[in-house]
Structure 1
Amino acid sequence: MSFQSEISPILSRKIISASISGTTFAIVLGLFIPDPFDVGIRSLGEYIRELQISVPGYLIYSFPVILLYGTIASMISDYIACFISNHTHKSLEIYFSFALHVLFGLVLLWYSLLASILYFITDYILIKKNIYKWSNALLSLGIPLVVLILFFGSIHIVDMFG
């Protein structure tokens, strides 16, 4: 088996994982920290408005990092975990991989730690579902774009009627 045929399905799965976990990360961060500049939220309407603004902001800045750094770090984590588990216990590979994902995720403390854990969980689910086609990987890159359009569109609609 050649290096390219071995790495291709892994890379496509990692891109799908990055698309899903990066988008999820931005939404979760927006739900819990809708006011990153601590302006102050006094009502539900202000919370929703800040959420509509913060999620695209988080997505625009975090998604490229998760896609590039997260994919590279995840691939390295998986290969190191595979190497270690081949020399110890094969059944521990998932735990070694998780520990390495956490280690790579400590770059920006809890922000990147949350992103790395979401990435790991998403990737683990995709492994179980056996999803790794390049067509799925390319389609998954539309997920963050659709979320951006939805959030920017909701801001526009609210401004139109408000």
Structure 2
Amino acid sequence: MEEETKVILQRKLVAASLSGTIYASILGFSMPNPFGDESFNSVLSYVFASIGIIPVYMMYSFPAILIYGVITSVISDKVGEFISTKSENKNAELIISGALHMIFGLILLWYSLMAAVLYFITDRILRKRNKEIKWYHALISLSIPFLTWIGTMGTVWIKEL
């Protein structure tokens, strides 16, 4: 049981790294100006505004996805597995786990719901691939959001020069 929990946590960390980065990028390009005080007069200004807001979104969303998302995802999967075993219905695990991901994702309404659904999909893709994920991979995956943050901040700094 302990070995199974390690494998789950490793996969969940990779899913958090990937979905957290994708979520901040989607949010950045869909809402590059969250306060509405600037209009975009060209595609380039829109792109720079989007890239400039991604690090801000990452600073707030990634820690929440990493901590809250991993914990609630493990709980959702375990409850789904339990109900699936008791009901002897294999599809129950997917349905219950997905529903619980969405319920836990409603904490900040649409913003967190979108992150929860993205996390659930990413985790399911990783699970379906059935590739063995080790702690090394989980720790290396944390470089994805870090390098994305550095890259987007670097773009902002270069633009300001």
Which of the five TM-score ranges fits, normalised by the shorter chain? over 0.9
**Aligned counterparts of 1:41 and 1:30: Cα–Cα separation in 2:** 15
**Aligned counterparts of 2:40 and 2:52: Cα–Cα separation in 1:** 16
In the other structure, the counterpart of 1:135 is 136
**Aligned counterparts of 2:113 and 2:91: Cα–Cα separation in 1:** 24
Q: After the TM superposition, which of the residue ranges 89-98 and 42-51 deviates more from structure 2?
A: 42-51
What is the aligned-residue identity percentage? 46
With structure 2 as the length reference, what TM-score do the two structures score?
0.93
Shift of 1:122: 0.4
Q: Within 5 Å, give how 1:78-157 maps onto structure 2.
A: 78-88=77-87, 89-131=89-131, 132-157=133-158
Aligned residues: 158
**Aligned counterparts of 2:32 and 2:7: Cα–Cα separation in 1:** 36
**Aligned counterparts of 2:44 and 2:129: Cα–Cα separation in 1:** 39
The alignment partner of 1:42 has SS state of coil
Shift of 1:140: 0.3
**Aligned counterparts of 1:91 and 1:42: Cα–Cα separation in 2:** 47
Ranges in structure 1 where 5+ consecutive residues have no aligned partner: none
The alignment partner of 1:146 has SS state of helix
CA RMSD of aligned residues (A): 1.1
Decide whether the 8 Å contact of 2:28 with 2:54 is kept in 1: yes
In the other structure, the counterpart of 2:19 is 21
In the other structure, the counterpart of 1:34 is 32
Ranges in structure 2 where 5+ consecutive residues have no aligned partner: none
